[in-house]
Chains A and B, each alone.
Chain A
Amino acid sequence: MQTTDSAIINIENPQVEIEGLNLYYGESQALTDLTFGIAAQQVTALIGPSGCGKSTLIRCINRMNDLVDGLRVEGRIAIDGEDINDPALDVIELRRKVGMVFQKWNPFPKSIYENIVYGLRIAGIENKAVLDEAAEKCLKRAALWDEVKDRLHQSAMGLSGGQMQRLCIARAIAVSPEIILMDEPCSALDPRSTGRIEDLIRELRGEYTIIIVTHNMQQAARISDYTAYMYLGELIEYGPTQTLFTMPSKKETEDYITGRFG
């Protein structure tokens, strides 16, 4: 397999390795021969026009695609050297390691507190002191504590969209994952809430490996260390964000980021 394409850089000691990944929905192919690595504790942005397979790709990383009927994956994805599609691997363990934040915030119709500790309760932790501490820590980490500390036990449905999305991030980090997948976390938010989420992502960098799908190129430029440009299920260019946005090596990438296309 060719991986020496100059437009796709090689990451030293990647935490996530993707090798020859092909994905099919029934007969149609959604991802074609993807091969690249994702750096640990860095922010990697996936950009590209709608339908290019960015979301499909990140949903492979925590095997969220298992829930989809008629979907077939070929190739290898490894986290810390372990193949995640290995039948012997416990998908529950995988998802504990790889958290996810969705495009559409999806808090449970429970209290704010119960939302945060849900993952911990699922993992069998019932000690109230531990749960309380985790809830406070994660809400502070997600910069939500000051806004909700007086109404922890009220329904999460009363929060604003931006607050709900930060709650979902807090909920994801509560189970101490190593990797957080974010599928267009700001696409339904106003600029102010978007700014707060971006601040939060910058703060989480260095502690978690973050893979973020975004439509917003300025956002990718602002928050990511590496950027991958995908088009029609193929990886066109992948490199340090700085380089990709200032000196793209491919014509297609340049067209897309300068807005001539997409």
Chain B
Amino acid sequence: MSKKFWRQGEPFVWATGLALSLILFLTLLLIYVVTANGISVFWPKPVALATLSDGQRLIGEIVQEETIPGTENKRLQFKIGNRDLYGLDFKWVESANIVSLAFPKEIQVLERQEYGNFYGFLHELEVKSIAPPASGSNSLVLTIAALDERKNEMHLLGKKIANLNRRVELIDHHLTKALYNKEKNTPALAAMQGEKQGLKTEFEALVSILGEKSAALATNQAIFTDANGRTKAIALANIVRTYQPNAMSFFAKCGYYLERLRELFFDEPRESNTEGGLFPAIFGTVMLIFLMSILSFPLGVLAGIYLREYAKDGWLVRLVRIAVNNLAGIPSIVYGIFGLGFFVYGIGGAIDQFFFPERLPTPTFGTGGILWTSLTLGLLTVPVVIVATEEALGSIPPGIREGSQALAATKLQTLTRILLPMASPGILTGFILAMARAAGEVAPLMITGVVKLAPALPLDRVFPYLHLDRKFMHLGFHIYDIGFQSPNVEAAKPMVYVTTLLLILIVLAMTSTAIYLRNKMRQQHSVVDV
């Protein structure tokens, strides 16, 4: 009986099923943890006012509760914020020490430009530079909204100043070039210097206007009190957003959630990346994958075609094949180092020598940038594309090739009209794998062009629009940066989950698009079934 049991393969089926379940379980666990933590970050949580047995009071969000090891007692972790007052964002309190716990509706949460959140009560508004709004329960919100217009004005002014700066920089480049070429006292040089002088005057005028405006804005402030009655004046211009979580209705909370999502997708980060939006990182990630694809996809497909269709089978081709397969196993940091040495210092350095010698020793292309990162990632993913192309071409029945050639088609015509369309689903599968791999890489990016905070996007409205020499931000690096390198790791934790969730979603969206395209092609070019 037991012999029959083994021979029928029952245990084997169980083993295969078990292996799959294990993998599924671990993957789902990962996705669950990321989603569960990431999705609730922006939902306003109730803020508690706790009175302790020693008479002290504290205000904060209850973050977690745990049993103190070795005892039966519990303790609570509060996010108390007010970093400028207390120095710490979080505080553990033993449950036994809490006399009472209340959730007063008047508690005000401020999201600030600096020092993190503030939890406390509004004491008094001091509005000077604009007409003070009607006093009421939401006068603070109204005043901040009224100040937004001023802030926008200043923002535009700041943009103008940055623009002037760029023009001055451009003239400086021309001047250094002229100096480098030993030009002296030419009319062009004088004109440039005159223009620069004009721009500088304009620049200084704008800067002084901006200074006045921000000084005026800073006079508007509000006095808050913390849990123990300490007062704190906070400039309204510093407040990004304020709300009273304990007083919010469900719909108000939904509105807040959507507003935070909007900020996440479209705004820039602040507070060393632990707050604010992720727009530059999302943009950088998508653009990097896009550039990488443009560079590696054609190269890999062409190489795969040569290996399968044109190279004469022999030990050399077999060796190349083995080498290509093994390239995928090289640690990605090695690719990064190669990219740094070959692309950045080698090619980038040479470009600087030939095209921008006047700017040296300041590098233009001879430093990390999105072009070099894309090339490095392209190199890393190209083996996957080669192998996929080769296998897709190899799986086409030989009768199809013969059929085409017997109809007087040349090898190239057979390839372009029959074989490549038939192989395209398989090639695209490889491309999807390559894309997913590239999206998840961080190590090679860190040394070839990713930065914590990029001043400008690699694509913008300033000529020549596409700035491949610029450094950029990336979601994967962002996770590492805020999770392990930020000054306040505990406070950045929610953002790590959000960023991770976002990165997973972006990879999912891009691969889904590719899969959709592949399925469409598969319908058109289904392989002979029999």
* Interface of A toward B, CB cutoff 8 Å: 62, 64, 67, 69, 92-93, 95-96, 99-100, 102, 104, 106-110, 118-119, 121-123, 155, 157, 161, 168, 171-172, 175
B462 at the interface (CB under 8 A from A): no
- Closest chain-B Cβ to A125's Cβ sits at a distance in Å of 12
Chain B residues within 8 Å of A92, by CB = 408, 410
A–B pairs, 25, beta carbons within 8 Å: A67-B401, A67-B405, A92-B408, A95-B405, A95-B406, A95-B407, A95-B408, A96-B408, A100-B402, A104-B399, A106-B399, A106-B400, A107-B403, A107-B528, A108-B403, A108-B404, A108-B418, A109-B525, A118-B407, A118-B409, A122-B413, A155-B526, A157-B528, A172-B407, A175-B407
Contact check, B407 vs A171: say whether CB atoms are below 8 A apart: yes
Chain B residues within 8 Å of A107, by CB = 403, 528
Residues of B in contact with A, size category: 20 to 34
Contact check, B402 vs A106: say whether CB atoms are below 8 A apart: yes
Cα distance A62–B308 when bound, in Å? 24
Chain A residues within 8 Å of B402, by CB = 64, 67, 100, 102, 106
Contact check, B405 vs A157: say whether CB atoms are below 8 A apart: no
Contact check, B406 vs A62: say whether CB atoms are below 8 A apart: yes
Chain B residues within 8 Å of A96, by CB = 408
Q: A108-B403, A109-B525 are in contact. List 9 more A-B contacts (CB 8 A).
A: A96-B408, A100-B406, A102-B403, A106-B403, A109-B526, A118-B417, A122-B408, A122-B409, A161-B530
Chain A residues within 8 Å of B205, by CB = none
Contact check, A119 vs B397: say whether CB atoms are below 8 A apart: no
- Closest chain-B Cβ to A259's Cβ sits at a distance in Å of 30
A157 — nearest CB in chain B belongs to which residue?
B526
Q: Which residues of B486-530 have CB atoms within 8 Å of chain A's CB atoms?
A: 524-530
Please name the 6 residue pairs, one residue from A and one from B, whose CB atoms are nearest each other, closest first: A106-B399, A106-B403, A119-B407, A100-B406, A95-B408, A96-B408
Cα distance A246–B37 when bound, in Å? 89
Known: A106-B400, A109-B422. A64 touches B526 (CB 8 A): no
Chain B residues within 8 Å of A100, by CB = 402, 406
Chain A residues within 8 Å of B409, by CB = 118-119, 122
Contact check, A69 vs B313: say whether CB atoms are below 8 A apart: yes
Chain A residues within 8 Å of B410, by CB = 92
Known: A155-B526, A161-B530. A175 touches B403 (CB 8 A): no
Q: Which of B313, B399, B417, B527 contacts A102 (CB 8 A)?
A: B399
B403 — nearest CB in chain A belongs to which residue?
A106
Contact check, A106 vs B528: say whether CB atoms are below 8 A apart: yes
Cα distance A67–B411 when bound, in Å? 10
Contact check, A123 vs B408: say whether CB atoms are below 8 A apart: yes
Cα distance A62–B406 when bound, in Å? 8
Chain A residues within 8 Å of B526, by CB = 109, 155, 157
- Closest chain-B Cβ to A84's Cβ sits at a distance in Å of 14
Listed residue (B312, B397, B407) with the most chain A CB atoms within 10 angstroms of its CB: B407
Chain B residues within 8 Å of A108, by CB = 400, 403-404, 418
Chain A residues within 8 Å of B529, by CB = 157
A161 — nearest CB in chain B belongs to which residue?
B530
In the complex, per-residue mask of B421-445: 1 if CB is within 8 Å of any chain A CB, else 0: 1100000000000000000000000
Contact check, B313 vs A168: say whether CB atoms are below 8 A apart: no
Chain B residues within 8 Å of A172, by CB = 406-407
- Closest chain-B Cβ to A185's Cβ sits at a distance in Å of 13
Cα distance A231–B295 when bound, in Å? 57
- Closest chain-B Cβ to A120's Cβ sits at a distance in Å of 9
Chain B residues within 8 Å of A168, by CB = 403
A188 — nearest CB in chain B belongs to which residue?
B530
Known: A69-B313, A104-B399, A118-B417. A109 touches B407 (CB 8 A): no
Listed residue (A95, A109, A110, A171) with the most chain B CB atoms within 10 angstroms of its CB: A109
Chain B residues within 8 Å of A121, by CB = 417
Chain B residues within 8 Å of A62, by CB = 406
